[in-house]
Amino acid sequence: MTKPKQELVPAENPLGFGTLSVPRVPAQMGIVSAGDLEVLAATFQGMDISEWKLPRAKKPAGFDTFAIQVAGQTSTPKEFTGTIIAFRPISKAWFKSSATTTGVPPSCTSHDGIRGFGVREIDAAPEADPSEADCIGCAWNKKGSKREQGGGVGVGKDCSDNAILLVSVPGMLVPLTIQVTPGSLANWQAFQLGLLNVRTEDGGVAKPTDCVVTFGLEAGLSSRQQSYSKVTFTLVGLREKSDIADAASLLFAEMLQRSRSTALLVEEVGR
């Protein structure tokens, strides 16, 4: 798309709404210096690092706390605050088996929500070669294809939509991975839409990677009347401008771009 040469001057909103005024706040990050970035870059160089090898903020079904495990220790906060430093807007995962089996990678994945790569046939042989295909034409990506574990077909899609967030939190050099599963996507999308009404000092539109956010949990109920936890997103403020934060965002955005990992956990993809 060609950028227009002349930009419009913002006019007053006739409905009485104005651009939201959001304060600048200190970046709540564990990456605080150029030395930290050098250590991370040197450590990751030549390693097959993906978002799934980073510490994860899991949300066990039926619990009102996160489960975060780092170096053999587990923390279970009800909420935590950090800075989004990178994110993948949408990814997809389809599993050949409809049964929940922890640790089994998906049969087909898409890292952009447009093209998928894998094996998409239920009766495919174990040695079947994966192939690439458009997600929009895939039968598993259509409403009404959801295979229920007890048999039958549900109203949803059998292929799950997910978003990936990398969040830097104080005291931790390596960021946390948050997988925004289908039940939490509406909250994440509402958060992103809300940012479109937040402008920065230079007149630009705020992006998720500009934000300091408090992550919490709320109860949800699936179409099968099963309880699960949904991630909530509360904007604390826009992070203060920082070359370190900008460089960290670039480093991990490039990691997400390179990552082709299929190491999703079945228990995280579901509801």
Q: Is 199 helix (H, G, I), strand (E, B) or coil?
A: strand
Report pLDDT digits (tens) over 191-228: 999 999 888 888 888 999 999 999 999 988 776 677 78
Whether the Cβ atoms of residue 81 and residue 233 lie closer than 8 Å to each other: no
Highest mean pLDDT among 110-114, 148-152, 233-237: 233-237
The answer for 26, left when phi > 0, alpha when psi is -120 to 50, beta otherwise, is beta
Instruction: Provide the terminal-to-terminal Cα distance of the chain, rounded to the nearest Å.
Output: 37
**pTM to 2 decimal places:** 0.80
For residues 156-167, give the mean pLDDT. Answer: 91
Q: Which of 73, 123, 119 is nearest to 93 (CA)?
A: 119
Q: Tokens at residue 15, please?
A: 């409905």
**Top-confidence residue, 10 or 206:** 206
Whether the Cβ atoms of residue 183 and residue 230 lie closer than 8 Å to each other: yes
| Residue 16 CB neighbours (<10 A) | 6
The residue type found at 137 is G
